[in-house]
Amino acid sequence: MIKTEKILHLKSYRGKKVRVVREHYLREQVPCYSLLCQADCDNDGKVLPGDLSHYVVPDVGVVVDYLEILEFRELRGVVFTQTACQALQHSKGRRQYNRLRNLLKDPRHDCVLFVNEFQEHSYCPREKGESQEQWHTRCVYSAAVWYYNHLAGMMDVVMITEDQDAVVRYGALNPGVYVMTDFLQVLRPELQAAHELYGSVSQALREKESEGSQREFAEHLPAEVLEAGIKSGRYVQGTLNINKHHNEGVVTTEGLSNKDADLSCGVLVCGGKNRNRATHGDVVVVELLPRSEWRGKVTALAEGQGEESESKPMATGRVVGILQRNWRDFVVTFPPRDGTQSQSRNSQRILAVPWDHRIPKIRISTQHADALQDHRVVVRIDSWESTSLYPNGHSVRVLGRAGEPGVTWWLVSVCVCSQLREMPVNSPERPWRVDPAQAAARRDLRESHLVFSIDPRGCEDVDDTLSVRSLAGGTLLELGVHIADVTHFVTEGSLTDLEARLRATTYYLADRRYDMLPAVLSADLCSLLGGVDRYAMSVMWQLDAHTLTVRDVWFGRTLIRSSYQLHYELAQALLDGEPAEVPELTQLGCEEKDAKLAELSQALETLTHVARHLRAQRDQGGALELEGVEVRAQLDEEKNITALVPRQPLEVHETVAECMIYANHWVARKIQEAFPHQALLRRHPPPRQEFFIQLAESATAKGFTIDTRTNKALADSLDRAVDPQDPLVNRLLRMMATTAMSQAVYFSTGLQSQDQYYHYGLALDRYTHFTSPIRRYADMVVHRLLAAALNAEQGVGPGTAVASNRELEELARHINQKNRAAQEAQKLSTVLFQCLYFKERDPQTDPCCTADAIIYSIKKDGLLVFVPQYGVKGPVYLKNREGLVVAVGQDGSCEWQSGSIRRHSDHITTSCGCGTSTFRLFNHITVRISVHSTSCHADSVKLEVVGNKPHYSAEPQQPHPQGRSQLVQEVVRLAEEANQQALEKKARRPKLSREEREFSQSKTPNLYSLLEEVRELALLDREPAAQNADPGHKR
């Protein structure tokens, strides 16, 4: 190694110039990562192929400005220089740099990094008086020359640059090294997409240079000032969330340890000036305004209602800097050219309207302005200067004309996540057989266990099966959860694995899904279908048959054959003892059939019994039953929507979910113990108390008190808050509690202290996802961890963790992000289906469009209502833009009249000439549903009040078929829970005082309380769905 010195002039923290001398070591051997290498370079990892016509070495300017183009996979043999990487890191920040790093790591991408500055012959020190750009260009050129010489002239090297001087200067120096500017046109004319992207990027760059200098926004403060300000407490750091309906944003601060109570519910940022170019989701730094300027959140539904319609003032601030942009791909619509926009000045700049209301209009420079009219386009934001009202962007891909079928689907997917490319199927279709070696290594459960699966009807990707049997003469129960062994087929680092990691989850939309794994795996080889041999990863517990305590637990790889592939409705029917047709048994004779059926029903019953016990156990700990809106669209053959069906909760759902939660919990314990610092778990942080305010207020209106201090207290008070007249009240309260919850997230155990592992919703100290590896990548990671833990235990194979703590945390973050995107997509798709459903119907005449709604929140000029029949939530205006208010006639019908409106804490009154009318919280009203469509944004469902009486649909509500049996189950469950409670009490305080023993009532359920419960439940039509914030099982 040769030691040289590099002299840098840096600014010290006081602003003085300091001369810093750094060592710089050069070496002879720097790997070139090329197959053609003659000098025995130490090339491990990704290697450039030798069969290309040339290698491409992009210049610093090209890497900084056109990285997106270099991301095209068609561009092969790209050599990034260290000089360019460092320049990118300096000028574009960490985000872009990480993008480049990922590019370099991605094995599908033909590019490598050459560490040119540490190579003895390619390093050139900066000369006196040489500008930085010149120096960079010289460095890159000398790296290109080195490559050419190193490969002994066998490969031409093309250096691409945007700098004409460089071409003149270096163009003719070396015969094998070409320097050119218009690389794409000359060498790769066939890459149409790359050309378009190139055009749009370069146009955006040119526009940026010719920007005006009129200042529209205050400049952002430099990073050091922000950092110092945050530390000293002058500024507040947080994530900006922009309200969907109003022009205001709330910065939620991270970490609960806010000393200042004012900041606990976030900082309000009103108006575009104060928001100062921040967009939704950015991590921003805000400065608080003086207290006299603090304002409240807008409580009115409509915009522009004036100042007086505000809640109590909260901390208000303005954005002074942005730490991290949340710029991703946005879908925009180019407006039709009808002269409303003043485009005459510069016809090439167009303000495109994003699909998401929260994103400002984006200025796009394009030469195809005419061609793009009315099209939906994916764009990226490049910059937002303080001199400009709108951000500048460039178009990436044209999706299609607005309103075209199919385009809307793209919208849903692109908006929330990155591209959903269809995956290449890389496993060849061949008759698959069980490998004898594998069969020997695995525990064979094909003969010994009755294995079955319960899934939604028509499910293809069966990733969990169950088994239960009694052992040792009935004193022991063996419960087994068998999960598809996906990681056996998908080895780490393979292409399928990478693609799965990229997708992270399967997207379930209202009528379709986007798979994480290729269909060969997800629907066939991995899927635990009935009647075929499959590999599985199993967890088996030996439980005491009476007390159901765990005696022993076994984890391992198994070979199973699922005997029955049931669906929920069928399983429920079997449980209830109703006649049901099991498809697997139709061929059998009558007697045999009965025997098999009895066996299956017996297994299901035992399973339900165990699940009830487990549930009761968790309820003791304070597990929550929450409520979400879920609707499934029923489609006919022509893909028309025939109905919107809310999900029917069955007990068997809960049974399966409970088993899965149990398996997840035990696996979490196992891997956490094996890898204390590198296990992937899932935690659900407790919610912030402020979010419960609305819930508590609403509950008070009905006379309930909600205790939100712990999850146990919350669960109990939610159980108590039942209105015997109206089962929906409880459902709504649970729904509100659900919205108050924070999101459960994956994390690596090394980064959190042990008390942070807690899962609030499920009331478990450790939890992870293990049971759905076909549709979640996190489960695959957990499978690998479990396998590694088992290997370590047996002393075979490498017992090391799959990934280091840091890698795992990075992965967890990625998966969390993707999961959020998937949830968002699910929500959007539901909304879309609701819109499509009502779009085809005439709101005035169709009876479907008039429905019963229940008020769950009161706003200044309207109500927020929930329509249980369709699962629609939305605002209802009681005052329109002309100032008219809704007046209720004698018969309950409503019409618009001029009048005034007054809001109280639990009701709202409108008064006009013919009297006043009142809407109370949790009242039922009748609404008409129509669709409000716009050209640029998504269609939205509009609700209008028709009458203030409950709406009764024409057909009488059919009695619930399982009502009776479910009632019985419910009572049994409650009894079980009470039993458990008593047992626990006994265990905790074995010695009661004599008085207590004599005079206190027993806690075990007596006949009276049982009857009481039956009476209470009889009043309810049916118990709301037992759905958790974090269901362990698919819907």
Partner 1 sequence: MAGLELLSDQGYRIDGRKATELRKVQARMGVFAQADGSAYLEQGNTKALAVVYGPHEMRGSRSRTRHDRAVINCQYSMATFSTAERKRRPHGDRKSTEMSLHLKQTFEAAIMTQLYPRSQIDIYVKILQSDGGNYSVCVNAATLAVIDAGIPMRDYVCACTVGFVDESPLADLCYAEESGGVSSLALALLPRSGQIALLQMDARLHQDNLDSMIEAAMTACKGVSKVLDEVVRQHLQEVSVLSRE
What's the CA gap between 427 and 433, in Å, rounded? 14
Give the H or E element holding residue 228: helix 223-232
Q: Which stretch binds partner 1 (CB under 8 A): 14-22, 274-282, 368-376, 989-997?
A: 14-22
Binds partner 1 (CB under 8 A): choice among 15, 19, 591, 958: 19
Binds partner 1 (CB under 8 A): choice among 57, 113, 285, 853: 113
What's the CA gap between 523 and 883, in Å, rounded? 57
- How many Å is the maximal CA-CA distance in the chain? 106
Binds partner 1 (CB under 8 A): choice among 11, 22, 709, 881: 22
For 157, counting Cβ atoms within 10 Å of its Cβ (0-12 exposed, 13-18 middle, 19+ buried), the class is: buried
What is the total residue count of the chain?
A: 1035
What tokens were used for 594?
Answer: 């009965």
- Name which of 31 and 1032 has its Cβ closer to partner 1: 31
Q: Which residues contact 684 (CB under 8 A, 6 or more apart)?
A: 741, 742, 743, 744, 745, 758, 759, 760, 761, 762, 767, 1029, 1030
8 Å CB contact between 808 and 795: no
Residues 951-1010 that bind partner 1 (CB under 8 A): none
- Name which of 16 and 546 has its Cβ closer to partner 1: 16
Residue type, 362: I
What's the CA gap between 68 and 194, in Å, rounded? 9
Residues 71-100 that bind partner 1 (CB under 8 A): 89, 94
- Name which of 98 and 634 has its Cβ closer to partner 1: 98
Residues 668-687 that bind partner 1 (CB under 8 A): 677
What's the CA gap between 596 and 574, in Å, rounded? 12
What's the CA gap between 855 and 53, in Å, rounded? 69
Angle at 971 between CA 967 and CA 976, to 5 degrees: 145
Q: Which stretch binds partner 1 (CB under 8 A): 26-34, 344-352, 819-827, 957-965?
A: 26-34
For 448, counting Cβ atoms within 10 Å of its Cβ (0-12 exposed, 13-18 middle, 19+ buried), the class is: exposed
CB of 115 to partner 1, least distance (A): 6
Q: Which stretch binds partner 1 (CB under 8 A): 18-26, 554-562, 697-705, 989-997?
A: 18-26
CB of 82 to partner 1, least distance (A): 8
523 near partner 1, rule: CB under 8 A: no
C-alpha distances (whole Å) from 252 to each of 227, 230, 294 are: 18, 15, 16
CB of 676 to partner 1, least distance (A): 9
For 67, counting Cβ atoms within 10 Å of its Cβ (0-12 exposed, 13-18 middle, 19+ buried), the class is: buried
- Name which of 118 and 514 has its Cβ closer to partner 1: 118
What's the CA gap between 482 and 603, in Å, rounded? 15
Binds partner 1 (CB under 8 A): choice among 3, 128, 312, 430: 3
Binds partner 1 (CB under 8 A): choice among 35, 41, 103, 115: 115
- Name which of 95 and 273 has its Cβ closer to partner 1: 95
What tokens were used for 435?
Answer: 């490998």
- Name which of 21 and 796 has its Cβ closer to partner 1: 21
Q: Which residues contact 902 (CB under 8 A, 6 or more apart)?
A: 908, 909, 910, 911
CB of 675 to partner 1, least distance (A): 11
What tokens were used for 245?
Answer: 């309906």
Residues 219-238 that bind partner 1 (CB under 8 A): 223
117 near partner 1, rule: CB under 8 A: yes
Residues 320-349 that bind partner 1 (CB under 8 A): none
282 near partner 1, rule: CB under 8 A: no
12 near partner 1, rule: CB under 8 A: yes
CB of 286 to partner 1, least distance (A): 21
- Name which of 254 and 807 has its Cβ closer to partner 1: 807
CB of 97 to partner 1, least distance (A): 9
- Name which of 222 and 290 has its Cβ closer to partner 1: 222
What's the CA gap between 240 and 351, in Å, rounded? 23
Binds partner 1 (CB under 8 A): choice among 41, 96, 118, 765: 118
- Name which of 700 and 804 has its Cβ closer to partner 1: 804
Q: Which residues contact 28 (CB under 8 A, 6 or more apart)?
A: 119, 120
What's the CA gap between 701 and 170, in Å, rounded? 80
16 near partner 1, rule: CB under 8 A: yes
Q: Which stretch binds partner 1 (CB under 8 A): 114-122, 363-371, 457-465, 656-664?
A: 114-122
Binds partner 1 (CB under 8 A): choice among 108, 273, 291, 806: 806
DSSP assignment of 714-748 equals HHHHHHH--BTTBHHHHHHHHHHHHHHSPPPEEEE
- Name which of 32 and 974 has its Cβ closer to partner 1: 32
Q: Is 1027 strand, coil or helix?
A: strand
Q: Which stretch binds partner 1 (CB under 8 A): 19-27, 450-458, 494-502, 940-948?
A: 19-27
- Name which of 95 and 997 has its Cβ closer to partner 1: 95
| 31 to 50: interface string for partner 1, x by CB under 8 A | x-------------------
Q: Which stretch binds partner 1 (CB under 8 A): 24-32, 369-377, 387-395, 519-527?
A: 24-32
List residues binding partner 1 (CB under 8 A). Answer: 1, 3, 5, 12, 16, 18-27, 31, 89, 94, 101, 104-105, 113, 115, 117-118, 223, 677, 804-806
